């Protein structure tokens, strides 16, 4: 069975070759500052042996250091604490054991003590979460060395001037593989990076939006006849997993539900909820906000005919008009679980419950716009922890060390457990190399969007979704708000400076 761990060295080499195409703020500074000091023993050692004994790329932090038991405090949103840290010395699950080992390894390596303070901080509580941080900063508490927060909370904090530019913080190196390049670039405004995510957040991979296929139904109804005789794995490998082909495959076996009682209906496509419409924005190769030479702007693609056509195609999945496609909010999961829906759109985390209930399925990437697109794109959910450094920290370099060390350690201990042992093995009902490969494709296709991080300031991230689920909406009417979106971008840039 395939695992990302087996690909780490080759992926790392590819990343290092492609760094010029992405934001890599820390690496640029290190290259300039170290030009006259390249003879250090550490530099020579890293060059000679960049990998550890298990084949993982090393970090640039001191091999050994003693900070005398210094306490480092992370302010973490409570909604994700069970997937980020454990508060027991007797962890029971393998994931908890990996999270426990991560923390203890970092504490032992640098002789520090990590304290976690939590508070609810998801969508409804994000402003209250940030206000707690703002209050602490305003009275000079210097209470938190790092903040781990819900994605849109980042934008709230940045707009209030609460976070430091991570490009200027010692010990953080965004060129390392534990910081996905797409995550770095999407968090960058005016050349400044205020938050990072990647291996440090165990929530990342489990909250990626994806599709599922019920493999029992695929075989029972001989669905391959609508896919040129191919199984679903070859459809994906051949880059024929497009929205048009998905509709052909999904609806080919059903006939029509017209006149049938609800209990007798079967559907080609079902969704977890309307939020999943976000995934189709990105799977078509689009974003709301794009980076142009270090400056964010509204994507030019949004005013093209191809985007309007893509909107129309996706709209038909969610508008409730087609009776053979089920898109009522929150009802799709039950349909998929009970073999009343062939395809289902949700999050990778759904595989845990589906596998535990004995459903036979495999994960799939979101379908492409067309074969010429040449790549799959899967949306990172907002339910991901982003890490920032407050403006009032006692020692910015130590905060940088804490974040970098946790990310580096996660890359070696937690990611393997979450990625391979959990989702590719335990929660993979396919239980074969094909289905594991599909998971690899999803994991390697994750994309981020600045509009989601700065949701409050830019106010455009949900416009595609809201229009998709409105039967009366069109993209042309929705895009009339573009002037306001551009003004919001200008205001954000001016505020950040």
Of 317, 284, 318, residue with least CA distance to 302: 284
CB 234 within 8 A of CB 256: no
Catalogue the E-assigned strands of 44-191: 70-77, 112-119, 146-150, 188-189
* Residue whose entry in the numeric block shows the structure tokens 């075989």: 219
Q: DSSP 3-state assignment of 226?
A: helix
Q: Which residues contact 389 (CB under 8 A, 6 or more apart)?
A: 145, 146, 147, 163, 164, 166, 169, 396, 399, 400, 403
User: How far apart are alpha carbons 290 and 219 in whole angstroms?
Assistant: 41
Predicted TM-score of the model (pTM): 0.88
Please state, rounded to an integer, the average pLDDT across all residues of the chain.
86
User: How far apart are alpha carbons 289 and 297 in whole angstroms?
Assistant: 6
> Sorting pLDDT into bands at 50, 70 and 90, what band is 10?
very low
Least confident segment among 20-24, 130-134, 313-317, 396-400: 20-24
Q: For 44-75, how does the pLDDT look when each residue is reduced to its tens digit (9 = 90+)?
A: 344 568 998 889 999 999 887 899 999 999 99
Using alpha carbons, list the distances in angstroms from residue 386 to 76, 85, 316, 403, 489: 10, 14, 34, 11, 21
Which structure tokens are listed for 158? Answer: 């940045």
Q: For 459-476, how does the pLDDT look when each residue is reduced to its tens digit (9 = 90+)?
A: 999 999 999 989 899 999
User: How far apart are alpha carbons 262 and 460 in whole angstroms?
Assistant: 36
The mean pLDDT of 172-200, rounded to a whole number, is 93
> Residues, the chain, total?
497
CB 271 within 8 A of CB 280: no
Q: For 76-91, how does the pLDDT look when each residue is reduced to its tens digit (9 = 90+)?
A: 999 877 778 887 788 8
Q: Which residues contact 399 (CB under 8 A, 6 or more apart)?
A: 72, 145, 146, 169, 389, 393
Q: In the chain, what are the domains?
A: 4-206+385-426 (3.40.190.10), 209-379+434-496 (3.40.190.10)
Give the residue with greater pLDDT, 229 vs 393: 393
Give the residue with greater pLDDT, 295 vs 367: 367
């Amino acid at each position: 069975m395939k695992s990302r761990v087996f690909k780490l060295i080759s992926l790392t080499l590819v990343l290092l070759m492609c760094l010029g195409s992405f934001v890599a703020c820390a690496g640029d500074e290190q290259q300039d500052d170290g030009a006259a000091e390249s003879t250090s023993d550490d530099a020579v050692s890293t060059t000679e042996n960049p990998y550890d004994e298990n084949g993982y790329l090393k970090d640039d932090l001191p091999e050994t250091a003693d900070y005398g038991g210094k306490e480092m405090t992370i302010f973490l949103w409570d909604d994700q604490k069970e997937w980020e840290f454990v508060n027991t010395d007797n962890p029971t699950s393998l994931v908890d054991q990996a999270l426990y080992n991560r923390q203890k390894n970092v504490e032992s390596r640098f002789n520090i003590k990590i304290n976690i303070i939590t508070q609810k901080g998801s969508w409804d509580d994000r402003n209250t979460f940030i206000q707690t941080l703002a209050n602490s900063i305003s009275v000079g508490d210097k209470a938190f060395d790092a903040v781990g927060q819900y994605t849109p909370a980042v934008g709230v904090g940045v707009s209030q001037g609460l976070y430091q530019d991570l490009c200027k913080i010692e010990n953080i190196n965004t060129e390392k593989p534990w910081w996905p390049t797409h995550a770095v670039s999407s968090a960058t405004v005016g050349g400044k990076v205020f938050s990072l995510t990647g291996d440090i957040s165990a929530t990342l991979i489990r909250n990626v939006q994806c599709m599922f296929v019920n493999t029992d139904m695929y075989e029972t109804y001989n669905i391959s006849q609508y896919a040129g005789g191919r199984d679903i794995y070859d459809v994906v490998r051949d880059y024929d997993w497009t929205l048009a082909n998905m509709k052909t495959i999904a609806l080919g076996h059903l006939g029509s539900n017209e006149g049938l009682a609800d209990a007798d209906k079967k559907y080609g496509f079902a969704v977890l909820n309307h939020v999943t419409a976000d995934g189709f924005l990105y799977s078509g190769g689009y974003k709301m906000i794009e980076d142009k030479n270090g400056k964010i702007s509204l994507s030019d693609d949004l005013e093209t005919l191809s985007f309007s056509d893509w909107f129309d195609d996706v709209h038909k999945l969610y508008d409730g008009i087609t009776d053979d496609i089920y898109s009522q909010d929150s009802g799709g999961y039950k349909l998929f679980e009970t073999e009343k829906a062939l395809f289902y759109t949700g999050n990778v985390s759904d595989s845990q419950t589906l596998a535990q209930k004995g459903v036979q399925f495999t994960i799939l990437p979101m379908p492409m716009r067309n074969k010429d697109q040449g790549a799959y794109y899967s949306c990172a959910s907002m339910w991901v922890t982003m890490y920032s450094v407050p403006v009032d920290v006692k020692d910015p370099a130590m905060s940088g060390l804490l974040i970098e060390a946790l990310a580096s350690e996660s890359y070696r201990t937690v990611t393997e457990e979450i990625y391979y042992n959990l989702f590719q093995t335990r929660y993979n009902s396919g239980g074969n190399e094909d289905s594991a490969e599909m998971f690899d494709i999803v994991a390697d296709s994750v994309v981020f969007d600045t509009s989601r991080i700065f949701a409050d300031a830019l106010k455009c991230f949900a416009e595609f979704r809201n229009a998709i689920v409105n039967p009366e909406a069109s993209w042309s009417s929705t895009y009339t708000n573009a002037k306001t979106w551009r003004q919001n971008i200008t205001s954000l840039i001016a505020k950040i400076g």
